[in-house]
Structure 1
């Protein structure tokens, strides 16, 4: 078996995109392993925050001797996605932290100057430092690793250091990027941006969760990478510099290519979508849909059409634009329900905006996430599901909206219409008037005009035949082979092979 060191930081608590990705990806991976369709096997390393309770985690017997030698480190284990996962908990004292920050600067030009009051960054520092040591211990007591798969900037530095320590290739997966998260205006000195820049230099393979996301981040980061490589040339070697020039040439080639549909896979970079498990959606019945409608009517009685938003409240999710668009509808038969988790201060701010727009009687904020079964019922019962994001690398809610179409069509009813911002992966998934609607956006400006969104909502409400057509289209789109987790896994395994084949001299141990 080829052991893959799978690095992710967000597995302790059951929320967030990285958690969702892992707990759906890993079971599909394991099923293919059992069916002998791959010889890659995951070994999961994640982070345990010292400030949180262990919960379901227990101290790992596998690393008992290691913890005796390294009393500052605790290694827990738990089950995630049906697979054992190891959780590293550690803290660095002030001197260790300063030394580590110095090393990050010298090797990768990662600046940590602005992180004095950023406690979680220091927790990440300890994780990054100890991952190579724990991985080396794993190799001593169990088996050698073949490659590293690191999730997002939060885990990339651990991947950089583990690659150097273990002399194995590294794949870095962008679930989002700082240029997008900052809506095109990042702090050029920030650790996330510096880390993402270094990843294009250090990784043997780069993957984005959509073709659009991969291209956007590479296009934006490439000039920064070119400057970084020039700066480090005197410290490294001429051979290294030339290999970096070749890597940059391949990145530029990737930017010129187009995908036939949803995947674009080359020798050192790829854009492929995440998947969705449809089995539970296909078990939705008419009673569940009816129950969902009753819940919506109980929340805001006397309405004929229900628009829902489910997601975080950060600005790039487009909730402000949705509220403004909804206020432009001026319809008494339509309700807007927002499902989100927010602080009391955030909730009050949004409530004030709702009141100032004059939509208080037909708009409701439901504070807190709903369980998966109720979520399916509500999604299927809604008329419109909105995800008007200004930046969205992929957009899982989009797929869930299309899955609700599938569930409804299987029960002989019209499903919800999915409306998204025309950005990132949603640009590739949704086709206007076929399986949903995209709100036009000016490229690279991250601006969504509420009037356009209001016009689309009005069109959907006023044209029932369009809703029926789009529901059928959505149910077909979500069944695409590209969204099957087994397909996603096989694409990733293909990337693993390319990662091994394309790694440099520092990974020659694996090649041999």
Structure 2
């Protein structure tokens, strides 16, 4: 299959989970013998506009001009409130989409035959729609999250309308969980088009057998976690939707009952200052370690390996790759709501928690932290579930099977 792939982030420019997804799934597609032409954002002109990865992944990264001065003329009030930096971001995304679609329609698609166009979220939706409209090639629209969900029910009408319009134009809507399918149906997305495809994890890379015990011990020490202390890990954006505020409050009870416990928080976001204040109020200021920096995959692997339990108490999470990565490394997990409850079976690989209830989060963490046998059993079951269901190879094969239904 020859696929035109519109995705906002792609290696070496990785911003979040979408980039990880695109990186892993396209590698698998190539190994399966498919050809891909990727249209993605540049990084301020620092990256090659034309590039190649492997033998059959061609990459196009247009260099854009700043159009932020005119953007306020035709967007809604919510987008205008993004400020200068936000409008510049929207300008970059808009120009990336238009330039990419023009290049695909007027040059690339005339040089070779394509079977499918795939685009991801609103960030590349415009490019996908323009490409389909001008070529007639079937379009698969991947929805990893919605503006409605990300904003807690509000958000920009411009972005919500764009998501809905793209779903109407697409031949297929692929989303990341059954929880997300229900959300899309509530938002009146065409139900007959929606298909569910979970995310995956590289089970060979995320494997404790690759980690040296002395290296893990040394890394824990570098963080400030003692050899006889327990480590709870949170990794993600420091924002209300991730439930990190409730987790920090929960740690007051956890530390009171399990004094040798540290919370390690990896991430950045608007709640960083507030979390420090909450930690002081909860009496755990000295038990919370904030890792305020970007870490590469090697260090992220070490963080998972170093922890005793991962806590991801999200209030909104379409799927969530973080619990998969922890489970692959044999770690028990405590998760909030949404798609994470499809990757984790309550009481087997970890526990579900109420992201708005610090007592519930504390109780679930304490059950794991106080019972090493239970923690080890959950870790083993987590690894087994990854190998059985969530490898990228399995996900890629199932995704291609979906694509074939509209080609």
TM-score w.r.t. length of structure 2: 0.89
Q: 1:341 to 1:149 in 2, by over 3 A?
A: same
CA separation of 1:323 and 1:5: change in aligned 2, threshold 3 A: same
Q: 1:456 to 1:486 in 2, by over 3 A?
A: same
- 1:41 Cα deviation from its structure 2 partner: 2.0
Alignment match, 1:497: 404
**Partner of residue 425, structure 1:** 339
Corresponding residue to 1:464 among 340, 360, 372:
372
CA displacement at 1:358 relative to structure 2: 1.3
Q: Is 2:67–2:88's contact at 8 Å kept on the other side of the alignment?
A: no
What does 1:23-422 align with in structure 2 at a 5 Å threshold? 23-33=23-33, 40-48=34-42, 52-54=44-46, 57-58=47-48, 76-79=49-52, 83-91=57-65, 101=74, 112=76, 114-116=78-80, 117=83, 118-139=87-108, 142-183=111-152, 185-187=153-155, 189-216=156-183, 218-222=184-188, 248=190, 251=191, 268-282=193-207, 284-285=209-210, 288-302=212-226, 303-329=228-254, 330=256, 331-342=258-269, 346-405=271-330, 416-421=331-336
Q: Which residue of 2 aligns with 1:3?
A: 2
1:465 CA displacement: 2.5
CA distance in 2, matches of 1:436, 1:382: 14
For residue 332 of structure 1, report the CA deviation from its aligned partner: 1.9
**What secondary structure sits across from 1:499 in the alignment?**
coil
Structure-1 separation of matches of 2:290 and 2:301: 18
Deviation at 1:132, TM superposition (A): 2.7
Deviation of residue 372 (structure 1)? 2.5
Kindly name which structure, 1 or 2, has the bigger radius of gyration based on alpha carbons.
1
**1: CA distance between counterparts of 2:357 and 2:70?**
49
For 1:68, the equivalent position in structure 2 comes to: none
Distance 1:158 1:471, change over 3 A: same
Deviation at 1:48, TM superposition (A): 2.2
SS of residue in 1 equivalent to 2:145: coil
* Superposed CA RMSD: 2.5
Paired residue for 2:362?
A: 454
Please state whether the residue corresponding to 1:89 is helix, strand or coil. Answer: coil
Question: In the superposition, relative to structure 1, how do residues 156 and 328 fare at CA in structure 2: closer, same or farther (>3 Å)?
Answer: same
Look up the match of 1:262.
none
Question: What SS is found at the alignment partner of 1:90?
Answer: coil
The CA distance in 2 between the partners of 1:47 and 1:191, in whole Å, is 21
Residues 102-142 of structure 1: per-residue CA shift (max 9 Å, x gap): xxxxxxxxx54554442211222222322332012333662
- TM-aligned CA deviation for residue 197 of structure 1: 1.4
Shift of 1:175: 1.1
Give structure 1 stretches of 5+ with no counterpart: 34-39, 59-75, 102-110, 226-247, 255-267, 406-415, 442-446, 501-512
Indicate if the aligned counterparts of 1:212 and 1:271 stay in contact, CA closer than 8 A. no
CA separation of 1:167 and 1:479: change in aligned 2, threshold 3 A: same
2:382 maps to which residue?
Answer: 474
Structure 1 residues 131 and 112 mapped into 2: Cα distance closer, same or farther (>3 Å)? farther
Write out per-residue CA displacement over residues 340-385 of structure 1, whole angstroms, 9 at most, x where no aligned residue: 235xx75433222222221111111111133333332331231111
The 10-residue stretch of structure 1 (192-201 or 135-144) with the greater mean CA deviation from structure 2: 135-144
What is the distance in 1 between the residues matched to 2:148 and 2:157?
11
Q: Structure 2 stretches of 5 or more lacking a match?
A: none
3-state SS of paired residue (1:338): strand
Bigger CA drift: 367-376 or 24-33?
Answer: 367-376
